[in-house]
């Protein structure tokens, strides 16, 4: 990946920046203001890959991403799990009793909800964690703090008042690596795979039950099932499914054939190797 260009949302010091550095340490990167900007850079050929957070073990799914993915012309190439250690950052010399406001991305604030309440800090939502940290320099006020990474503290010369400000240990964010190319790996019996797809069901009684029945009868494990309203509709839902298996497996093909009788617009988002982090979670009964 040395010559690849990676797009991510945020600025230097954001958790997406950390994740990108861990997965693609020798690649170039483009920091983007929004998730959509990062995806469009890949769609337009100005970046090779986008690294996008989709869910967190504490705060749940990143709602915006589930709505963007079905509209994009990108494919899931891989997944990455990034441990997230939230730090409470402030100007040098700041004390806990000085702080009134704590800013960060809404997902990060949600992951520190209990700690914020314990200290009666007022949460202030920002576009990203590192941006909130950088803004402290401009505000130049000890009443303001930010939730961000230790890398952000280093980059912006901020003091870490609490290096474990998150509510739960083991807080982890799952990232998707997106590409224009649909590189489906060969089904190797020694490896495990995930097939991700989206669909919406027909407007008939018990449509979802019938649509999912094919997975049960063919012994297919659904790792994740997410539903959300389709744009411009209050009575139609779209479903995102992560399936334990490779699309070339006969039993999965049979299940998808059954799904097609009850679903509209089935779109395969990608087939990729199951990350080994999932096995660690399973061993800890977290999967």
Kindly list the catalytic residues: 173, 175
CA angle centred on 255, ends 249 and 261, rounded to 5°: 140
CA angle centred on 156, ends 152 and 159, rounded to 5°: 80
Cα gap 129→16, rounded to integer Å: 10
For 179, 212, 240, 255, the CA distances from 59, given in Å and listed in that order, are 26, 27, 18, 31
Task: Cite the beta strand spans of 180-285 per DSSP E.
Answer: 193-201, 221-229, 237-244, 263-273
Cα gap 269→249, rounded to integer Å: 17
Cβ atoms 249, 221 nearer than 8 A = no
Helix (H) or strand (E) segment spanning residue 20: helix 15-23
- Sorted by sequence, the CB contacts under 8 Å of residue 112 that are 6+ apart come out as 86, 102, 104, 147, 165, 166, 167
Task: Cite the beta strand spans of 43-142 per DSSP E.
Answer: 49-56, 60-61, 75-83, 87-90, 101-104, 122-125
């Amino acid at each position: 990946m040395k010559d690849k260009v990676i797009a991510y949302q945020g600025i230097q010091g954001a958790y997406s920046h950390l994740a990108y550095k861990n997965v693609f340490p020798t690649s170039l990167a483009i920091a983007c203001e929004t998730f959509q900007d990062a995806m469009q850079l890949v769609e337009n050929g100005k970046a090779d890959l986008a690294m996008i957070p989709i869910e967190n073990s504490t705060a749940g799914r990143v709602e915006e991403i589930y709505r963007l993915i079905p509209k994009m012309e990108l494919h899931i190439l891989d997944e990455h799990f990034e441990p997230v250690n939230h730090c409470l950052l402030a100007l040098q010399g700041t004390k806990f009793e000085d702080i009134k406001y704590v800013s960060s991305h809404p997902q990060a604030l949600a992951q520190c909800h209990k700690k914020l309440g314990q200290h009666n800090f007022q949460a202030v939502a920002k576009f990203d964690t590192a941006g909130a940290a950088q803004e402290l320099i401009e505000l130049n006020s000890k009443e303001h703090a930010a939730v961000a990474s230790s890398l952000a503290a280093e980059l912006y010369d901020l003091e870490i008042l609490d290096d474990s400000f998150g509510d739960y240990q083991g807080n982890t964010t799952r990232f998707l690596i997106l590409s224009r190319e649909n590189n489906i790996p060969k089904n190797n019996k020694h490896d495990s795979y995930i097939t991700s797809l989206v669909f919406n069901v027909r407007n008939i009684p018990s449509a979802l039950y019938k649509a999912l029945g094919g997975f049960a009868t063919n012994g297919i494990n659904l790792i994740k099932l997410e539903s959300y309203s389709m744009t411009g509709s209050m009575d139609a839902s779209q479903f995102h499914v992560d399936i334990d298996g490779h699309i070339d497996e006969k039993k999965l093909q049979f299940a998808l054939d059954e799904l097609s009788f009850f679903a509209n617009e089935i779109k395969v988002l990608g087939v990729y190797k199951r990350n080994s982090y999932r096995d660690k979670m399973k061993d800890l009964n977290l999967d």
